[in-house]
Amino acid sequence: MVRVTARAHPNIALVKYWGKRDPVLNLPAVPSLSVTLDGFQTTTTVTWGVGEDRVWLDGREATPPEARRVSVFLDRVAPERPPCLVESASNFPSSAGLASSSSAFAALALAATRAAGRPMDPFALSVLARQGSGSACRSILGGFVEWRRGERMDGSDSHAVQVAPPGAWDLRVVVAVVSRGAKAVSSSEGMARTVATSPCHAAFVADAPAEVERARAAVLARDLPALCAAMERSTLGMVASMLTTRPSLRYWKPGTLAVVEQVERLRSEGIPVGWTTDAGPNVKVLCEGGHAAEVEAVLAPLALETHVLSPGPGASWVVS
């Protein structure tokens, strides 16, 4: 029996991933670019070699579909594996729209490969984490991270690479939670419907490589207005694809638009700031460290809760 603990942080896409070219391997239709966040984290312990597969999430036993997803993932680590115990806990609200699956599968990939005695380099680990949840491949690495779309059918070239480390730029992500309801349509289901029916998705896919190029250049030049422009264009392309899916995927709530309007007002007053959303109503706002308190103060009256997060590290092994 081997017991290994690992920790990973969620990431927020600045240039978005929406749509798969292979839904089994989670191969994306587009490249994307994200920032891994500090403060929020998932800690996962894998015990390799117990009586039967058991999965605990935030102190409760996982539902059968959740447990199955974890078991299938462990089978990818080692098909001939023994039964395992997985205990995972996150220190952040699942309502925050902070892609808890990104930190969950990154931490699980690191803990499980070590527990299995099959340690992997970060690229191989990123390929593995991607198969649990696409965005998890980006949480293997810290700071500003690009997920290369890749061309190969087996997905071996579809993994994350670091663009800049967490300390490279004093940015903040201010999260404005405007609704705590669970999303009605999962991202995997939403992506499948979008690829099948949205007339706007092809334009989003066509624009993505250039948007990632511009965002990468903006990160390397520490050019926040250019990064915010790329982020908002990419988000709007994704949201247009969602809205024009049949039946329409409307993840936004009225409170989402109220936050977006305030962010644009702050920008018109000269504060470099930009917004993004994911498969949900909550808004993530990018700004410099020196403006974070002011941005949070403006958004707090419109939100149920706010969080201010910094760029953070990649997944790491916890010595117990």
In angstroms, what is the minimal distance from the CB of 279 to ligand PMV?
4
C-alpha distance from residue 311 to each of 8, 16, 139 (Å): 13, 17, 11
Which stretches of the chain are DSSP H helices? 64-77, 100-115, 122-132, 136-139, 187-197, 201-221, 224-243, 254-268, 292-299
Number of C-beta neighbours around residue 68 at 10 A? 13
Q: Does 135 bind ligand PMV (CB under 6 A)?
A: yes
Q: Which of 41, 158, 179, 187 binds ligand PMV (CB under 6 A)?
A: 187
| CB of residue 12 to ligand PMV, shortest distance in Å | 7
Per-residue mark of binding to ligand PMV, 26-45 (x: CB under 6 A): ------x-------------
Phi, psi at 274, each rounded to 5°: -150, 160
**CA–CA dist 221, 275 (Å, integer):** 20
- Residues 94-123 interacting with ligand PMV (rule: CB under 6 A): 99, 101
Closer residue to ligand PMV, CB minimum distance, 47 or 143:
143
| Token couple for 203 | 């334009």
* Contact indicator for 14, 135 with CB cutoff of 8 Å: no
**Of the residues 5, 41, 131, 133, which one makes contact with ligand PMV according to CB under 6 A:** 133
Question: 283, 257 in Cβ contact below 8 A?
Answer: no
Provide the sign of the torsion angle of the four alpha carbons 6, 182, 292, 138, taken in this order.
positive
Question: Among residues 8, 17, 211, 286, which is the contact residue for ligand PMV, using CB under 6 A?
Answer: 17
Q: Does 21 bind ligand PMV (CB under 6 A)?
A: no
Considering the complex, state which of residue 115 and residue 281 has its C-beta at the smaller distance from ligand PMV.
281
Instruction: Lay out the site mask for ligand PMV across 255-294 (x = CB under 6 A, - = otherwise).
Output: -----------------------xx---------------
Which residues make up the interface to ligand PMV (CB under 6 A)? 13, 16-18, 32, 99, 101, 133-135, 187-188, 278-279
